[in-house]
Amino acid sequence: MQSRYCRSILLMIQQHELGSKRHNCLNELTMQSRLMTDDENKNGKKSDWFRLNLTGPVKNFSGTLCQLTYITTLVIKNNNLERLPAELGNLVNLVNLDASCNRLHSLPSTIGDLTELRALILNDNKIVDLPSEIGRLLNLRHFNLNDNPLSAEVSSMYGDGSDSNIRRMIRYYMDYFYLYNVHGSPPPRQWRRLAEPNKDGFAFTLMCYNLLSPNYATPVMYPYCPSWALNWDYRRRAILDEIRIYHANIICLQELRTDQFEEVFKPELQKLNYDAVFLPKSRRRTMELKESKKVDGCAIFWQTNKFEKLHEFHHEFMLSCTSMCENPTPIMLNRVMARDNVAVGVIFETKSSFDGTGGRQFCVTTGHIHWDPEHSDVKVIQTILWTAELWAYIDRFLKTSRNAAKQLSPTLSRSVPLSSKIPVPGPFSPAANMPVILCGDLNSLPESGVVEFLTSGSLSLTHSDFLNYGHKYMFKDWKLLEKWATDGNTLRHRFAFNRAYRESEGMCLTNFTYDFKGMIDYVLYTRQHFRLLGSLDQIYELWFQEKKILGCPHVHIPSDHFALLVELELMPTNLPTTSYVNPPRNQCTVETDTFGEDMNVNISNSSDNNDHSYSDKQDRLLPSNGFFP
């Protein structure tokens, strides 16, 4: 039964901007309030509280009050409180807590659940030590412990209570907390069986993983991760262990630093019969050799007993602007050329020693698209550059003899106008017959223009992600874009991509931090060439909630991204050499100048064969090549 006292504080208080004093107490506010009427109570009307102020002097702070989880400011100063209830941790929206001038001897460990807390005022109490859970208060900016009988250790860290001292103290307690309160490792990620392999198909596994370069893994960016778990040596060991466990046939990595590729990852994975290609970001071109070794980039590793590399190619989007356009527009120069993102690709041929299905060619490309949400147009442009160059690379390779192809440069020529060196691939380019896998960190949500362009095959120039710059990029002047690709108000490409990890397929998010949680990493494959046989589910979200994990990296998770792992089957026969527009899911639209009705039938059949439905019994089977230990 709710007491009269508790009911009497169910007030509707108008919100006012909250001010605070740096090291004393929270400012008093003038508050207008009234009791809710019985009708409002019966109708379930929510109170508009944001602040609770208790004075008395009060000797006991009831845990019942901690049911008011919506309040953001709690002022309980100038009382006779000797303890705070464990239920205090329920006030998860609390931003300011003033418990100064009481008789508190300690704080409950649940104080660590108040991760939104910015001001914690505890002066004039009897506090000696602090719980290690204080280290979870990553947003804490104002912390007053003056006039407390602090232990020598706490007093030394607190010092004069300056901002720098507070940050060091929080970091110290965080490191200590996770060192002695490490939760059990997450439950194993479950394998999701989506289809059974065909007798004549070629099944293989592919991993896509953004490693979080040590260049970006700073305490400022990831304040919720203890220093020792953020350290690259610690994370690198965990990453390599994860790679060894999954033992994918092809591994695509982003944010791998040059020195780490050369000194660690390549030699370590060579022991497991992997070879590799690597492309660092374009900024290394302006650096001294020593500094350039710290630049991160993209890499592809493959098992040499299963695949032979026929050719590799490089995409440097900064340089693509000048090769694609003889006279880049100012917006292209100022917005796109300022970003040095890259992608790298390899054309493989399967070896006959692997299950008797050798001699099949396919392409894998992985990249890292610009991160900034305020530059969504740059993300779209980089993706357009990627697909246009990719089509041209494949076209050039397939029109060259096998021996001559080995001498091809991994980049398109930039010494002469592109159109005079490499012809624009036509609608009947042999590139249409090349199986392609495109994967990486696209830094784009599923509803973004980047993902829409890749999966639907087209994008309107008026799409919101262009930020009203669509027509200013002058796509009709781009050297590698066919007239067909830029007709009207829409941009198009000729790949027909399906997406692994589509809706409700075991992966709702690939990036998990304190400030952002979402899907931004992808594996796409040409639907007429591949079938998706299985994929690795994400770590159960419930585990993160139960363990109160604020974000990644974490003690048990070495990156802020999760590795994607899929099993694909290269289907035994390819479609006729032709081209097509990427049709909507489960529907094929015919482009009359590129292909006929027979193509429509083939693509539809391919889509039917790639049915992702599965039963509960199939849900947790191992991949067909049994790569898990």
Supply the residues annotated as catalytic: 441
Instruction: Phi first, then psi: give them for residue 355, nearest 5 degrees.
Output: 50, 25
Burial environment of residue 336 by CB neighbours within 10 A (0 to 12, 13 to 18, 19 or more): buried
Distance separating alpha carbons of residues 76 and 346, to the nearest angstrom: 64
Burial environment of residue 280 by CB neighbours within 10 A (0 to 12, 13 to 18, 19 or more): buried
Task: Show Cβ contacts of residue 399 under 8 Å, excluding neighbours closer than 6 positions.
Answer: 430
Provide the token pair at 145: 């412990």
Tokens 């020195």: give the residue.
259
Distance separating alpha carbons of residues 283 and 338, to the nearest angstrom: 10
Tokens 């060579």: give the residue.
270
Q: How many residues does the chain have?
A: 629
Task: Show Cβ contacts of residue 377 under 8 Å, excluding neighbours closer than 6 positions.
Answer: 335, 465, 466, 467, 469, 470
CA nearest to 453, candidates 412, 416, 419, 481: 481
Q: How far apart are the two ends of the chain, measured CA to CA in Å?
A: 56
Provide the token pair at 461: 């120039």
Distance separating alpha carbons of residues 266 and 297, to the nearest angstrom: 14
Distance separating alpha carbons of residues 281 and 261, to the nearest angstrom: 13
Q: List % helix, strand, coil for the chain (3-state, nearest 5).
A: 30, 20, 50
